[in-house]
Chains A and B, each alone.
Chain A
Amino acid sequence: MRDFLIRHQTPALLVAGLVVVTVLGVLTGNETVQVTLTEMFIRLVVVVGLWVFIGNSGIISFGHIGFMGVGAYAAAWASAEPGFKQIMLSGLPVFLQENQYPFAFAIIGATLLPALVALLLGIALMRLAGTAASIATFAVLMIVNSVYANWDSVTAGSSSIIGIPTVVGPWVAVGFAAGAVVTAYLFQVSRLGLMLRASRDDEVAARASAVEVKRMRLVAFVLSAAIAGAGGGLYAQFLGILTIDPFYLGLTFITLAMLVVGGMSSLSGAVAGVFAVTIIVELLRIAERGVSLGALDLGLPLGSQEIGLGVLMALILIFRPNGLSNGRELVWPGAAPAAKAPAGRTLSPELTGDAAPSP
């Protein structure tokens, strides 16, 4: 048991951290704190999903918030009140219109539908090289947005879907966050993860090592879309009301900012980024609201949140380009496997790039 925990200490520590934060948050008994925590854990699911693809393949994706939206709508279709669906969503298949499915079923749908969409799109997208693939994923985001905003008979178009049961609180959300972390970790250390990380470091050499790079990228793309979609399903069943508007540029930016701030190349970085950015954003939000000192209202102007986040990202990129985690995984101080520690200390990332002459 002890060996098992030491070997898999990164996900164990991350999950333990999440649980501790949840316990503390619930103990405060404060409604706002619990809502903030729930939102943060839902974002954590999405960001970890995003990391499964970006972190292991090295290709930035702007499309995953689209998959989150697809997942959210899938959950809404399954779980919203039949009365509403029959009137407003008359284009849905009859089995969805007439029934109200439980949360578990909704989440399964929110996972499978985005995975299927990602598979179909990914077969085409993964043929593209790095930057071209990133730009194409941006197109995915725009396509999802415009389809869902205009397909009135299934998405209610620009009006909202209402009557979705709100069953997601901090405990449900943290459960899924922990599940996402464990899934992402298992993928990272799997054969597929190893091959994909090799292609991130050097695609040509990976192909020469018998790695079918496109296939590996497709697998990661589908898995990460599934996790992001589950995050969308949670979001729908947390808010109880759904429009396509939130699943666009703003959320794409903030989730990518979380990855950049935390450090894209490690799972611990993805988790750290979600925490760091949430804390900064919440502090700025409080500051925007301001405090009243008698006749004097002290507060930051509206929009400080966005500016603050931009400044934070710029500072990270300048002073710690590999993010807060610096590309490392979280390990218990001193309890790291004996052989790993020296490797970490002799590392000098600044120098390594110049060791070999490039062609």
Chain B
Amino acid sequence: MSETPAFIEPPSLGVDRALTNAATLAAEGLSVRFSGLLAISDVTIRQARHEILGLIGPNGAGKTTLVNCLTGFQKPSEGRVMLGDEDTAGWSAARFRAHGIARTFQAGRLFKDMTVAENVEVTGVGLGLGLKAAREHAMAMLGWIGLADKARAKAGTLAYTDQRRLGIARALVLSPAFILLDEPAAGMSDAECEELMTLVSAIPKTFTSGVLLIEHNMRVVMGISHRVQVLDGGKTLAEGLPAEIQKHEAVMAAYLGMEA
């Protein structure tokens, strides 16, 4: 492995292939109903490339449902998800990824019985790379994220924070236009959160991706987000710069107040 300092050089892709030219990922008037229960109602969100957008809200606010809609895992009951000018209605989750919309999962969801390297290779192969190119790209990604020495270990044997990092590496294969991180800091210590913040803030520059960051840890969200949107009860409660949100009264009442 080459000793490139982490987070400076983008991993060599070995291929020159843009998944999409779209500059924005947007949900317009999105509602999702689960047998009568409204999980989210009339939510509009707009994510630009190169931007870190924080998405916060109390448990049950509909954050994960929104992410599921934005990545093809949940069909909206009303409204639409637009990638640039394209309506994504009817796209499979795999097609979302093929068009450059990647995500991670709260539970990690690694391929536990496969090696660390294979976990990353799968995405490359899924995106159309040959085995050899996918393997080379996977090793570059692992080098970048600091897991190269564990490439041959089974993913299930990794330490918790390493599993989180592997999930992110897997999602960043071939520089997606957008990456949606679902509570990446959950269960991490303060020091580990610091590392994660460095890593996430490097993503827009290194991979030219927009980052949608769902997170409960306020220090992380407020520390690295360019903009923050607040969901409560399935609706958008507020939207603005981190400093504005921290002073927003309705937000403090609904959410931040509980933390104090």
Q: State the A residues within 8 Å of B (CB).
A: 189-191, 194-195, 197-198, 200-202, 204-213, 265, 327, 339-340, 342-343, 346-349, 351-353, 355-359
Contacts and interface: CB of A to CB of B under 8 A. Distances in A.
B112 interface: yes
A252 B171 CA distance: 40
9 contacts: A194-B121, A202-B111, A205-B111, A208-B73, A208-B171, A210-B97, A211-B94, A355-B163, A356-B108
Given A198-B114, A355-B157, 12 more contacts: A191-B125, A194-B121, A194-B122, A201-B111, A208-B97, A208-B105, A209-B126, A210-B126, A210-B127, A351-B157, A352-B112, A356-B107
Contacts of A339: 152
Select the residue from A210, A213, A340 with max chain B CB neighbours within 10 A.
A210
B93 A208 contact: yes
Select the residue from B94, B107, B119 with max chain A CB neighbours within 10 A.
B94
A205 B94 contact: no
Interface of B: 71-73, 92-94, 97-98, 102-103, 105-115, 118-119, 121-123, 125-127, 130-131, 134, 152-154, 156-160, 163, 170-171, 173, 187
A213 B122 CA distance: 12
A201 B97 contact: no
Contacts of B93: 207-208
A265 B113 contact: yes
A210 B107 contact: no
A206 B170 CA distance: 11
B109 A204 contact: yes
Contacts of B118: 194, 198
A343 B170 contact: no
A202 B105 CA distance: 12
Given A201-B113, A211-B94, A343 B163 contact: no
A219 to B, nearest CB: 14
B171 A195 contact: no
Contacts, number: 115
Select the residue from B102, B108, B173 with max chain A CB neighbours within 10 A.
B108
A63 to B, nearest CB: 25
Contacts of B125: 191, 194-195
Nearest to B174: A210
A99 to B, nearest CB: 43
Contacts of A347: 154, 157
Contacts of B73: 204, 207-208
B157 A211 contact: no
Contacts of B154: 343, 347, 352
A347 B155 CA distance: 10
A237 B73 CA distance: 49
Nearest to B129: A191
Select the residue from A197, A204, A207 with max chain B CB neighbours within 10 A.
A207
Report, nearest first, the 7 A-B pairs whose CB atoms are least far apart: A352-B156, A210-B126, A201-B111, A210-B97, A205-B109, A207-B93, A209-B123
A195 B118 CA distance: 10
A60 B124 CA distance: 28
Contacts of A211: 94, 122, 126
Select the residue from B106, B125, B154 with max chain A CB neighbours within 10 A.
B125
B75 to A, nearest CB: 14
A191 B131 contact: yes
B74 to A, nearest CB: 12
A95 to B, nearest CB: 42
A228 B259 CA distance: 61
B142 to A, nearest CB: 13
A327 B114 CA distance: 11
